[in-house]
Chains A and B, each alone.
Chain A
Amino acid sequence: MALLLIDNNDSFTYNLHHQIIRLTGIETSVIFYDAMKDHNLSQYDGYIISPGPGHPSEYPDYSILFKLEKPIFGVCLGMQLINSYYDGEVSRLSECRHGVTLNIEYMDDIEEVAVYNSLYCNKVADGLEVIANYKNIPMALRHKQLPYAGVQFHSESFMTPNGDKILNDMLNSIGIV
């Protein structure tokens, strides 16, 4: 198995890269978003979309990725990109939070997670289900049929105590093991 991590010029990409390799042992390559359209994407068995600055509408090239129908896991902007591809909406939060932790409802537990959060999925796309929440903010989403999932928070942050377990669960749920 081989994975591709697409870096939206973010500053947490390699934290995620190390965490994925450490947990799965799967060879994971990193390319910049700008290089995606000229890259042979079909050689990989799954994709990870990094966090990054700005709104999903600034990243139109991701539509190529969704046509491949292979596992996709998105973090922060990455999750918002999945939501936007399926016609969900992403807009400004009334109170943005960066570099802090929140106690969110995750499956049946409460988890402390790190957030870097200016925008949120204010309307979740029909094909997606919300699997974690903080008040009215969707904190994790999963596609109802396809192996796509994402988290709004940062499992790779040093501030997320159970980050390894959460990432492992999420990757397992879309068939990346």
Chain B
Amino acid sequence: MLTARQDPAGDRPGSLGLAPRPTGRGGPRRTSLWRSVSGVLFMAPALVVLLVFWLVPLILVVVFSLFHWDYGTNPQFVGTEQYHIVLSDPLFGQAVLTTLVFAAVVVAVGTAFSLLVAVVLYSEVQARGLFRSLVFLPYVMPMVATSTIWLWMFQPGSGVVDRLMHAVGLPGQVAWLNSSTLALAALCIYTIWYGFGFTALLFTAGLTAIPSEVLNAGLVDGAGAWQRFRYLVWPLLTPTTLFVVVVNTISAFQAFTQIYALTRGGPVNATTTLTYYIYETAFTYFHFGAASASAVVLFVFVVVLTAAQFLLSRRYVFYDEATA
């Protein structure tokens, strides 16, 4: 995603061997036919996999969403009724709300925190490489393993979180994962912990792209660190910020592993997000039709939200050749 965009059709003039060129063997016509055939053959393995397991299922999920279909029964065409059923399920509504709260907290706090870390990493500090490697570490660790340790850390009484809270005079014996609000908070903390090093890295990439003349000009004009950040860095960083917000939103909507390992969607469905709802509907209750309808709703949700973020921030985002 950070790489330069290329013309997908690839037929820009002057690019590599793109025009069929006549060679010695068999004349232009035969060469070009031969090249088409081998090109298709070369692409075939990848295309088969991507079609069968990624693109056709995308069509199938829409088709399935129009059927009433539980495991072991015959699918029954019900049209859009499946959507009425799903949308009127109170648990679905609750899952939408939970997902929105979870995404809002993770995106707002996570983005702000990783921006702070990135700005600090970007300034002249000793051992920058070491710090960068350390904050990035959670992102490459298996989520089940790190969720297990956070589960232990969140235990009331014996867990580290409780002990640290006790040490600074906060109330102890907090059963994080047994309270509906705190369980969601615990999930947010874990998710921010897991991802902030990665998003900080995205921000550092954006910061590196800011021309140093701009910052130097600010220095010459006597702007302080905060003023330089507020009036120079922040506006120039808006394309990166938008990208980070979109990336964080999409990954918050897709969160699953940490929910499965930390809370199993509980207590009493308090941390059942849409992804977890789909998983349970499909693979605990085997309502394939309902799960497909929810998946379509979630997909539309994410697309709309992403588009809205782009549209809303159009006013605030500063696009420039040097930074975009």
Check if A and B associate.
Answer: no
Query: What is A's interface to B at a CB cutoff of 8 Å?
Result: none
Query: What is B's interface to A at a CB cutoff of 8 Å?
Result: none
